[in-house]
Amino acid sequence: MERVIQEVGRSPLIIAEIAIGFILFWLGQFVYQKLFRRKLELNIELFVRDNSAVAVALVGYYLGIAIALKSALTKSVLSWESNLINLVLYGLFVIGLMLIGAIVCDLLILQRCDSEREIREERNFGAAVLEFGCHIANGIIISSAMGGDAGTLLVGFASYAIGLATLVITSFWYSAIAGYDVFKAIQEHNNPAAGVAFAGLLVAIGNVVHFAFLPEFENWGISFVLYTLAIPFGLLMLVAIRWVADLILVPGVKISDEIVRQEIPNLGAGLIEAFAYIAGSLLITWSI
């Protein structure tokens, strides 16, 4: 009963936090349109042209912000005023990092299939869901890098840079892992299954980075050695999971053939591959 009374007493704070959260989403949308996708007129794309690909990419960005805000909402501070101030300041910080991550991913991952053009002009679902995955992974990395109470802001920035670098570096190897040129499949063949599978890998990488950053920061030597051991281990496990998915989840069928080597790409196969990556990354995080 006492717990219920406490929660009821916190209702005004919860309502205020939700209101601030939606204000931050609006500000994030403004930054997305004015500083990231400057050629996009969101209202026209969403409600005049009914471009669902734009909606998919934008929702991924919103979800990335929501995930990143978790660190602020779970931090313990002394008063309701401090809670709200902390949420506002951290939220502005998150929007800045989301923009940095979006630009980095756009230049080093998405640009290889000209995602902006594909989403805006071709309504390419594969490109849109790939951008969706980038934003989700970015939010997860921000949440883990900036979470905890032991590290400094510099530690958080260094951790975030490691997470982004992991995302980009792994993307360069993904075509070799998948067995086909994923960017060609998305851009030239408008292949939604390839985009879904790749997006699943990006989210899984975000979870692997989250797993690596779970221990509280001790010092630059110990903690960053642990990071450099944990992240490669997690990535190797994801590669193994890709093989296991072929062997166990779809016995007798090769997922890559279903995605790119038939006339109509099998979206279900892309979803299964994405599930294998994400589920595998969660199992790695929960079991170690």
- The 10s digit of each residue's pLDDT in 220-248 is 667 777 777 888 888 888 888 878 877 88
Q: What is the maximal distance between C-alpha atoms in the chain?
A: 62
Q: Which two tokens stand for residue 257?
A: 């053939």
pLDDT in tens, 62-92: 999 999 988 776 665 557 777 888 889 999 9
Q: Collect all residues with Cβ–Cβ distance below 8 Å to 143 and sequence separation of at least 6.
A: 67, 68, 69, 70, 71, 210
Q: What is the pLDDT of residue 36?
A: 95
Query: Residue 279's domain spans which residues?
Result: 2-287
DSSP 64-99: HHHHHTHHHHHS--SSHHHHHHHHHHHHHHHHHHHH
Distance between start and end Cα atoms, the chain: 36
Residue 208 near residue 276 (C-beta atoms within 8 A):
no
Our CA angle for 226, 206, 197, nearest 5°, is: 135
DSSP state of 262: S
Q: What is the pLDDT of residue 4?
A: 42
Q: Decide: helix, strand or coil at residue 284.
A: helix
pLDDT in tens, 87-129: 899 999 999 999 999 999 999 999 999 999 999 999 999 999 9
Q: What is the pLDDT of residue 155?
A: 80
Q: What is the pLDDT of residue 8?
A: 47
Residue 95 near residue 24 (C-beta atoms within 8 A):
yes
Choose among 130, 134, 158: nearest CA to 144. Answer: 158
Could you tell me the pTM of the whole model?
0.91
Choose among 146, 144, 164: nearest CA to 154. Answer: 146
Choose among 87, 49, 83, 53: nearest CA to 68. Answer: 87
Residue 164 near residue 228 (C-beta atoms within 8 A):
no
Choose among 234, 238, 244: nearest CA to 212. Answer: 234
The total number of structural domains in the chain stands at: 1
